[in-house]
């Protein structure tokens, strides 16, 4: 049963009252969560898509103990927000992967699922994105540890394994509202795999293995987010973008 903000579940900490009022957040506590390891507080946000037929199906899966998956929030196509896990708790949304020096993404992040299936449609519903923007604004206002560059794609932290929220997600639009980052005024630079690896790692990407295949997976997910129409071998525009990202938002500062 879904509960509106006025009906509180014992021991469940909600998003801020103003944001809940603006979005009419519903609460459906999922049993799938744990304690953030080491007592850490969230310093990043990971965005996902559900790739399921409906938000109802997704909520059922995110609440099924047998699935061993969950997220802090789910936003359906019409923009309705459901909170499933207390932000203070460790939801099970990220799985295996890493970003920068963080290997336990679940302990360090807030997970947001978007009701979207790439095989069924291309563009995200504007109502859904509007609700996401309001939710992100609220989280960033309450949590100074989370900066726009720490809002990442599920694919960013799991190259070769995950591809959500996909090529049609409006990262540039979010960046224009201070909710993400976007490269501007890019210069073409000579294609160089050694330099690409250096800047990709400095920005935060990690290859699953230090092989050509592993770094091609990184190139693919980097393009998925920043250059969705780019194909083929490593190019000057790839180099320009990854260098810009690395220089402006370095995740690792000590690998020079």
Q: Please, what is the end-to-end C-alpha distance for the chain in angstroms?
A: 53
**Residue 49 contacts residue 117 (beta carbons within 8 Å):** yes
Helices 236-248 and 193-203 cross at an angle (nearest 10°) of: 30
- Give the model confidence (pLDDT) of 54-103 as tens digits: 999 999 999 999 999 999 999 999 999 999 999 999 999 998 999 999 99
- Give the model confidence (pLDDT) of 161-219 as tens digits: 999 999 999 999 999 999 999 999 999 999 999 999 999 999 999 999 999 999 999 99
Helix (H) or strand (E) holding 244: helix 236-248
113 is a catalytic site residue? yes
Structure tokens at 238: 């790839």
- Give the model confidence (pLDDT) of 12-28 as tens digits: 444 555 555 567 899 99
Find out whether the peptide bond into 165 is cis, omega within 30 degrees of 0: yes
Give buried/exposed letters for 122-136 (b at 16+ CB in 10 A, else e): eebbeebbebbbbbb
d(CA 105, CA 165): 17
CATH number of the domain at 3-175, out of 3.30.565.10, 3.40.80.10, 3.40.50.1820, 1.10.1380.10? 3.40.80.10
Structure tokens at 135: 């939710």
Find out whether the peptide bond into 196 is cis, omega within 30 degrees of 0: no
Q: How confident is the model at residue 121 (pLDDT cuts 50, 70, 90)?
A: confident
Q: What is the pLDDT of residue 1?
A: 31
Helix (H) or strand (E) holding 224: helix 212-226
**Residue 118 contacts residue 51 (beta carbons within 8 Å):** yes
Question: Is residue 248 pLDDT above 60, yes or no?
Answer: yes
Q: What is the pLDDT of residue 13?
A: 47
d(CA 227, CA 112): 23
Q: What is the pTM of this model?
A: 0.91
**Residue 118 contacts residue 49 (beta carbons within 8 Å):** yes
Tell me which of 77, 87, 113, 231 is the catalytic residue: 113
Residue 218 main-chain phi, psi, to 5 deg: -65, -45
């Amino acid at each position: 049963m879904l509960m509106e903000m006025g009906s509180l579940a014992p021991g469940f900490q909600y998003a801020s009252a103003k944001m809940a009022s603006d979005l009419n957040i519903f609460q459906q506590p999922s049993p799938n969560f744990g304690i953030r390891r080491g007592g850490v507080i969230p310093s990043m946000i990971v965005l996902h898509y559900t790739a399921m037929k409906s938000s109802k199906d997704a909520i059922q899966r995110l609440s099924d103990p047998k699935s061993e998956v969950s997220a802090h929030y789910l936003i359906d196509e019409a923009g309705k927000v459901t909170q499933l896990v207390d932000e203070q708790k460790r939801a099970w949304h990220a799985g295996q992967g890493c970003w920068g020096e963080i290997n336990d993404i679940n302990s360090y992040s807030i997970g947001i699922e978007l009701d979207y299936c790439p095989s069924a449609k291309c563009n995200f519903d504007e109502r859904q994105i509007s609700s996401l923007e309001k939710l992100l604004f609220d989280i960033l206002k309450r949590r100074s540890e989370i900066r726009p560059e720490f809002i990442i794609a599920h694919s960013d932290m799991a190259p070769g394994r995950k591809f959500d929220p996909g090529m049609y997600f409006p990262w540039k639009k979010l960046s224009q509202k201070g909710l993400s980052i976007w490269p501007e005024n890019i210069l073409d630079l000579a294609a160089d795999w050694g330099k690409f690896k250096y800047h990709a790692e400095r920005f935060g990407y990690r290859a699953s293995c230090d092989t050509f295949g592993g770094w091609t997976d990184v190139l693919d997910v980097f393009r998925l987010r920043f250059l969705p129409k780019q194909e083929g071998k490593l190019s000057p525009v790839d180099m320009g973008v990854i260098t810009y990202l690395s220089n402006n938002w370095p995740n690792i500062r000590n690998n020079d």
